[in-house]
Amino acid sequence: MGTALVVISGLGLFASIGIFVISMLRKLFFKLTKNTEKMNKARKCSIISAITFGAFLIIFIATMIIGPKLDPVGWCTSHEYNIVEQKDSTCTNSGYIIRVCSLCGDETKETIDAHHSWVEQVVEKATCTSKQKIEKKCSRCGTTEYIESGEVLAHTWEKDKVIEATCSHPKQTINKCSVCGTSETVEEGSTLPHNFGEWTTIIEPTTEKEGQQARTCTICNHSEKTNILKKSPITIMSITYNIDYVGGVEWTYDIKNNSPKTIKYITLQWSCYNAVGDPIYDEIDGQNITGMKITGPLESGQSKQYTNATKFYNHSYASSSMVTISVEFMDGDIINITDSEYTNIFKN
């Protein structure tokens, strides 16, 4: 309340000063303009405003004196607090502290939250499998809690054994932690090649379908399979030749029909070479390739010998290489035989 009185009296004093200044200025103005009637009125106003100013000045001074007594807290610039009452907190209940200013009597109350008074100790050190374990025990109520702290330690590795590489795994070093017994396997290098046994035919090839063969590693039992080329419709059982006195080369082919069908025609073409492997040419037509067309029938499973009707003339002939083998069956089917599709073309 004291502070409010000072503020109100101060505002009144400020207003009275303003009114007094305005009245004095009016009085001076009317005096300069020689307006006696208005000047007299202005003089009366200035006297009233002066009296009002003086009254508010006295009120302001009075409120400045009695204000601190009416509102000591508002006027206290530096509190000096003393504890007058205190209750300590417990683990479950809060406490408080009451303080009073010795200058103005202002009172404050501070709340102290309930809390445990923890005492910590390490009960388990960190290992390679667990973090450090800390026990927290309240010294007041005995409440106990356990917490983990820090990080697990690194394993203490020791070499346990070495397993040499095989075809199923590379070289392996097995390490064992001397603290917790955990094992780890470290691999280095690469696996060894498989030690496969012989190929075994599991599906026999025919003249129309491929077969299949398999082999197994004798160490790890890993198996692999591969296709076998189709069986050639014909097998050239043997090739013989003779050269007559004029250099005419005559070939005789022994051919077997492996297919289940009757062969109508067999067309053979081959290129000719001398003893050092260079190509040679017919001395009559200049061609390197010669051949013959065999007329059947050649029944399924039957073998026959065939000799070329037209000779190849060159005294230096020593060997030949097959270029074309074509088989036409009685039912009209034609097969061009190549070593990329068929086996058993020639008898081993």
**What single string gives the DSSP state of each residue in 296-327?**
EEE-TT-EEEEE-SS-EE-TT--EEEEEEEEE
User: In this structure, are residues 330 and 261 in contact, taking their beta carbons and an 8 Å threshold?
Assistant: yes
- At 28 the pLDDT is 67
Token pair of 201 as six digits: 């035919």
- At 169 the pLDDT is 87
What proportion of the chain, given as a percentage, has pLDDT over 90? Answer: 46
Among 210, 228, 246, the domain-final residue is 228
179/206 same-domain check: no
In a domain, 142, yes or no: yes
User: In this structure, are residues 108 and 79 in contact, taking their beta carbons and an 8 Å threshold?
Assistant: no
184/266 same-domain check: no
Residues 6+ apart with CB under 8 A from 21: none
Q: How confident is the model at residue 273 (pLDDT cuts 50, 70, 90)?
A: very high
In a domain, 193, yes or no: no
Which of 8-22, 156-170, 274-288 is predicted least confidently? 8-22
237/334 same-domain check: yes
Closest CA to 166 of 195, 202, 124: 195
Tens digit of each residue's pLDDT (9 = 90 or more) over 90-105: 888 888 899 988 777 7
Residue 328: which domain range? 231-343
Tens digit of each residue's pLDDT (9 = 90 or more) over 200-218: 999 999 998 999 999 999 9
In a domain, 130, yes or no: yes
53/102 same-domain check: no
Tens digit of each residue's pLDDT (9 = 90 or more) over 63-92: 666 655 555 655 667 888 888 888 888 888
Number of domains, the chain = 6
**What single string gives the DSSP state of each residue in 24-92?**
HHHHHHHHHTT-HHHHHHHHHHHHHHHHHHHHHHHHHHHHHHHHHHH-HHHH-SS--EEEEEEE---SS
26/122 same-domain check: no
pLDDT, average across residues 40-68? 68
Which of 2-6, 48-52, 125-129, 305-309 is predicted least confidently? 2-6
Please say if the pLDDT value at position 144 is more than 60. Answer: yes
250/223 same-domain check: no
In the chain, the amino acid numbered 322 is: M
336/239 same-domain check: yes
244/336 same-domain check: yes
Please say if the pLDDT value at position 347 is more than 60. Answer: yes
User: In this structure, are residues 311 and 291 in contact, taking their beta carbons and an 8 Å threshold?
Assistant: no
Tens digit of each residue's pLDDT (9 = 90 or more) over 119-132: 988 888 888 888 99
Please say if the pLDDT value at position 300 is more than 90. Answer: yes
236/332 same-domain check: yes
In a domain, 129, yes or no: yes
239/311 same-domain check: yes
Instruction: Name the average pLDDT for the chain.
Output: 86
Q: Measured between alpha carbons, how far is residue 244 from residues 166, 256, 274, 293, 311 in Å?
A: 62, 27, 16, 22, 10
End-to-end CA distance of the chain: 131
pLDDT, average across residues 254-281? 96
Specify the residue for token string 């209940």.
93
Give the H/E segment covering residue 252. strand 248-257
Three-state DSSP class for residue 13: helix
In a domain, 176, yes or no: yes
Specify the residue for token string 């086996």.
343
Please say if the pLDDT value at position 196 is more than 80. Answer: yes
224/235 same-domain check: no
- At 250 the pLDDT is 95
- At 2 the pLDDT is 47
- At 323 the pLDDT is 96
